[in-house]
Amino acid sequence: MTRLRRSATAAALALTAVSTAVLGFAGPASAHVTVNPKDATQGGYGRFAFRVPNESDTASTTKVEVVLPENAPVGSVSTMPVPGWTVAVEKRKVDPPIEVHGSQLTEAVSKLTWTATGDAAVKPGQFQEFPVSMGPLPKVDTMVFKTLQTYSDGNIQRWIEEPTGGGEEPESPAPVLTLTAGPASATPAASPGAQVEADDDDDDDSDGAATGLAIAGLVAGLAGLLLGGLAFARTRRDPAAKD
C-alpha cells in the first residue's frame, strides 16, 4: 500500500513539473512586442503596427520606445494618432543620403517614443497598437526594431534580442520585419505597331516577288508565241522546207 502511495506521489510530482515547464515556457513567448504585418517588400511602402501587450499583473504600460535600425534607414516615417498617447520623433544624420522621389534626404527617423497621458496606459490583460507608415523600405532581408516597454511601477522590459541562427526564439525578442525583393522588371518587348509594320514589309516583298515572276512568265510566253509565228510564216514562204 505504501509503495502504491509513493508511486502515485512521484507520478503527480512529475506531472506537475512537466506542466510547469510547458506553461512556463509557452507563457512569455506568446506575449512579446511584435510588428504587424511581419512581411513586406523592399522598396515599397506599408502600414505597420507595433503591438504591445501588458505582461504585468499589477502595473500598466506607460511608455513605449521603438528604435529603428541604423543599418536600414527609412526616408519617410509617419505615425497615426493614438488616443491618450503622445509621440516624440527623434532623427539622425545619414550618409550616404536616402533618395526619396528624386530628393536626397540627409536625415532619417531613429527613434519613436509613445507616452501615455491621463488614464490611457495599457492595463493588465490588455494590449495597445501603435500604427506607423514607412517607406521606401530598404533593400535588406530584415529590420530589427529594438523596443523598451516601461511600466507604471518603474520596471522596464527590454525587447532587444535579435534572432539567432539556430531558429530558437530569444527570451526577450525584438520585433522583426522580414523584407523580400520585389518582382524583377521585365525587358521591354517590341511594340505591336513595329511588329505589324515589319509583317507588312514582308508581305510587300512577297507580293513584289510574285508580281515580278508573273511578268517574267508573261514575257517568256509572248516571246515563245512570237518565235513560233515567225517560224510558221517562214515555212509558208519556203516550199523547200515542206519537202
Which pLDDT belongs to residue 26?
35
Backbone phi and psi for residue 24, each to the nearest 5 degrees, phi listed first = -65, -30
Which pLDDT belongs to residue 87?
98
Cα separation, 35 vs 60, in Å, equals: 20
Cell of 37: 504585418
Question: Low-confidence residues of the chain, pLDDT below 70?
Answer: 1-30, 184-243
Cell of 232: 510558221
Burial label for 129, CB within 10 Å (0-12, 13-18, 19+), is: middle
pLDDT tens string 164-201: 877 788 899 999 999 999 776 544 444 444 343 444 44
Which H or E run includes 110? strand 103-116
Backbone phi and psi for residue 92, each to the nearest 5 degrees, phi listed first = -145, 160
Which H or E run includes 219? helix 192-237
Cell of 75: 526616408
Number of Cβ within a 10 Å radius of residue 63: 16
Cα separation, 122 vs 100, in Å, equals: 36
Which pLDDT belongs to residue 211?
52
Which pLDDT belongs to residue 197?
42
Which pLDDT belongs to residue 200?
47
One-letter amino acid of 135: G
Backbone phi and psi for residue 88, each to the nearest 5 degrees, phi listed first = -115, 135
Which pLDDT belongs to residue 72?
94
pLDDT tens string 50-74: 999 999 999 999 999 999 999 999 9
Contact present, 158 and 150 (Cβ < 8 Å): no
Which pLDDT belongs to residue 217?
57
Which pLDDT belongs to residue 212?
56
User: What residue spans of the chain are helical by DSSP H?
Assistant: 2-29, 192-237
Which is it for strands 176-180 and 39-41: parallel, antiparallel or unpaired?
A: parallel
Place of cell 504600460: 61
Nearest Cα residue to 144 out of 17, 28, 50, 46:
50
Place of cell 510530482: 13
Number of Cβ within a 10 Å radius of residue 72: 17
Question: Is 0.75 surpassed by the pTM of this model?
Answer: no
